Structure 1
Amino acid sequence: MSHTAHIPSHRKPRQRASKSALRAGVAGGFLSTIAVAGAAGPAQAEPVTQTIEMPTIASGFSAAAAASAQATQQLALDMERQADQDAAAEKAAKTAKKAHAEAVRKDEAKKKAEAAAKARAEAEAKERAERASRTAERTTLSASTGGSGSSSSGSSASASAPSSSSNVSGSAASIVAFAKAQVGDAYIPGGTGPNAWDCSGLVQAAYRTAGIDLPRVSQAQSTYGTQVSLDNLQPGDILYWGSAGSAYHVAIYVGGGQFVGAQNSGTGTVQRSMDYDRPTGAVRVL
């Protein structure tokens, strides 16, 4: 019996027998030829030889190309992203460097401003102290006026005067004359003459003309002698600013409500009225 006799009659006879197509995909689009034998009829089946052109694997290449393109695009995106990150990091570094430089500049400016403020405060303090030195320099008769004033007070001061001072009037006149002679000299911190002074250096040198050795600094000079009222001053008295024992400036009272003092580097040694900057206290050595 024929091997196709079992096929039901309602089905169409197989015009084309089973065709076995052996497909082998080769990446270059190779062609494969396969001989397929099929039964054409129920009994007599002649072998049929058919040449089939197998499709090339273009789809595989297309997928690979698409994947390659996608990978290339992704790589380009990654490189672009990295470049953006590098640029952002470089910009951030420049910004941080600039901010640091600005902070340093502001800190230096602040320190300079603080130093300038401190210098101004010190200059103002010395300026207040120098106000007792400039007015008497305008008159050449101040020395003689001071001498007469001192002579009238000689008896009252003699009790507290050092033994080295035998003539209070003469000593006071000598001190006042010396102080006035230095008006116009420069002010230098630590200066002791002969052409530049600080406040206590001038007072010490003036008293040395009367044979009296005073302490070197204003703090000690403000307690050397007897404390006297500012309403009862005599020429030659030592005026001080600040508290006794911790004075920051001293000058010499020259009579007529004026004093001579080495004030600061801006004004030098001057003569001024006490009303310009009233001292804190005074001591009498003579």
Structure 2
Amino acid sequence: MSHTAHIPSHRKPRQRASKSALRAGVAGGVLSTIAVAGAAGPAQAEPVTQTIEMPTITSGFSTAVAASAQATQQVALDLETQADEDAAAEEAAKTAKKAHAEAVRKAEAKKKAEAAAKARAEAEAKERAERASRTSERTTLSASSGSSDAGSSASAPSSSSSNVSGSAASIVAFAKAQVGDAYVPGGTGPNSWDCSGLVQAAYRTAGIDLPRVSQSQSTFGTQVSLDSLQPGDILYWGSAGSAYHVAIYVGGGEFVGAQNSNTGTVQRSLDYDRPTGAVRVL
């Protein structure tokens, strides 16, 4: 025996032997499986043993993407701004064109109005000159024939136009100057009249304001007989206060009045249309 035979051993050979056998068996089984798999399918693909790593998005790439998006947005804003500016320019051009057309229209209208006013002024000046000439001729004829007419007519008043003076002369002269003018209902001159409009305008030349309508004029003043008429007296047809027509006695047994639309303003004998009454204002 060995001199160490009585020293106990710390190892456990049997336990380790079984473990080794187990490990050997497992390893052998794995190797067998691999061998069988290799023999059974040589055409099968080899298992992938390499890991593919995906690229990592770096901060630089993110910044580039953000910058590109911002640039695209800026381009869109620029296009929208340009579209708005183009629309505004087009609208401004339309407004300017319309304003120019309106200015041209107003200028043409003003030019036509000035031409019409000039022509009207010339026509009125010519009419006044002709009327003044006609009035002068009629006044002369009336003065020369008034006395003989008054003396030969038994029904006519004794007053003649040759004796007219002062305010009455102004009234008579104005009335005679309108002979030949048109009769227009509501007319107050200068070239067309109704009966009361003519009488009112004639008295205005003497500084006297008469009422506008014949009914009121027939009571404005003192009632006088038709046998004692004086030039400038107001003649009326109908009753006082409700007269339907008025005229001016101009002497020589005649009156001037705006009669109707057929005759216009005329100078006639009292016998042509005998008035109902008369009033004296002067």
State the TM-score, normalizing by the size of structure 1: 0.44
Looking at structure 2, the residues matched to 3 and 154 of structure 1 have their Cα atoms a distance apart, in angstroms, of 208
Cα-to-partner distance string for 1:73-132 (whole Å, 9 max, x where unaligned): 999999999999999999999999999999999999999999999999999999999999
Distance in 1 of aligned mates of 2:239 and 2:29: 112
- Once the 2 structures are TM-superposed, how far is the Cα of residue 205 of structure 1 from its aligned partner? 0.2
Distance in 2, matches of 1:28 and 1:118, equals: 135
Superposition deviation, residue 142 in structure 1: 2.3
Unaligned 5+ runs, structure 2: none
Decide whether the 8 Å contact of 1:237 with 1:284 is kept in 2: yes
3-state SS in 2 of match to 1:36? helix
Structure 1 residues 195, 159: closer, same or farther in 2, change over 3 A?
A: closer
SS of 1:272's partner is strand
RMSD: 16.7
Q: CA deviation at 1:214?
A: 0.2
C-alpha deviation, 1:277, in angstroms: 1.1
Shift of the 184–64 alpha-carbon distance from structure 1 to 2, 3 Å rule, reads same
CA contact (8 A) 1:218 1:250 kept: yes
Contact 1:25 1:56 in 2 (8 A): no
| Identity, % of aligned positions | 92
Change (3 A) 1:142 1:69: same
Aligned partners of 2:37 and 2:134: how far apart in 1?
Answer: 138
Q: Select which of 202, 222, 225 maps to 2:221.
A: 225
Q: Which has the larger radius of gyration?
A: 2
For the Cα contact (< 8 Å) 1:187–1:268, is it kept in 2?
yes
Deviations 1:10-31 (A, max 9, x none): 9999999999999999999999
Q: Taking structure 1 as reference, are residues 114 and 89 closer, same or farther at Cα in structure 2, changes over 3 Å only?
A: same
Structure 1 SS opposite 2:41 = coil
Task: Specify the SS of the correspondent of 1:54.
Answer: coil
Distance change (3 Å), C-alpha of 1:54 and 1:228: same
**Structure 1: any 5+ residue segments left out of the alignment?**
none
Contact kept in structure 2, 1:257 and 1:273, CA below 8 Å: yes
Quote the Cα distance in structure 1 between the aligned partners of 2:96 and 2:25: 62
Which stretch of the first structure deviates more once superposed, 42-51 or 133-142?
Answer: 42-51
CA deviation map 1:40-72 (0-9, x unaligned): 999999999999999999999999999999999
1:193–1:83 distance in 2 versus 1, CA, 3 Å? closer
CA 1:99–1:190: 2 relative to 1, 3 Å: same
Alignment CA distance shift 1:276-1:175 (3 Å): same
1:154-188 residue CA offsets vs partner (Å, 9 max, x unmatched): 99999999x99999931000000000000000000
Q: Distance in 1 between matches of 2:47 and 2:3?
A: 15
In the TM superposition, structure 1's runs of 4+ consecutive aligned residues that sit over 2 Å from their partners are: 1-144, 148-161, 163-169
Query: Structure 2 vs 1, CA of residues 193 and 37 (structure 1 numbering), >3 Å: closer, same or farther?
Result: same
**Cα distance, 1:32–1:192 mapped onto 2, change above 3 Å:** farther
Cα 1:237–1:62 change in 2 (3 A) is same
Shift of 1:35: 124
* Higher RCO (CA 8 Å, separation ≥ 6 residues): 1
Q: Matched residues in 2 for 1:103 and 1:28: separation?
A: 113
Alignment partners' CA distance in 1, 2:233 and 2:47? 150
Q: Does the 8 Å CA contact 2:171/2:206 hold for their aligned counterparts?
A: yes
Which shifted more, 91-100 or 260-269?
91-100
The structure richer in helix per residue is 2
CA contact (8 A) 1:131 1:274 kept: no
Distance 1:253 1:108 in 2: 49
Aligned match of 1:99:
99
User: How far has the Cα of 1:276 moved from its partner?
Assistant: 1.2
Q: Is the 8 A contact 1:32 1:54 kept in 2?
A: no
Q: 1:174 to 1:91 in 2, by over 3 A?
A: closer
Residues 150, 115 of structure 1: CA spacing in aligned structure 2 closer, same or farther, 3 A cutoff?
Answer: farther
Give the distance between the partners of 2:132 and 2:111, measured in 1 at CA: 33
Distance 1:103-1:218 versus aligned 2 partners, 3 A rule: farther
- Report the CA distance shift for 1:54/1:121 in structure 2 as closer, same or farther (over 3 A): same
Single out whichever of 192-201 and 129-138 deviates more from structure 2. 129-138
**Does the 8 A contact of 1:200 with 1:250 survive in 2?**
yes
- Relative distance call for 1:36 and 1:170 in structure 2 (3 A) is farther
**Distance of 2:33 and 2:111 partners within structure 1:** 96
Partner of 2:263: 267
Kindly tell me the number of residue pairs found equivalent between the two proteins. Answer: 282
8 Å CA contact retained: 2:150, 2:160: no
- Name the CA distance, whole Å, in 1 between partners of 2:168 and 2:90: 77
C-alpha separation between the residues in 2 aligned to 1:110 and 1:223?
48
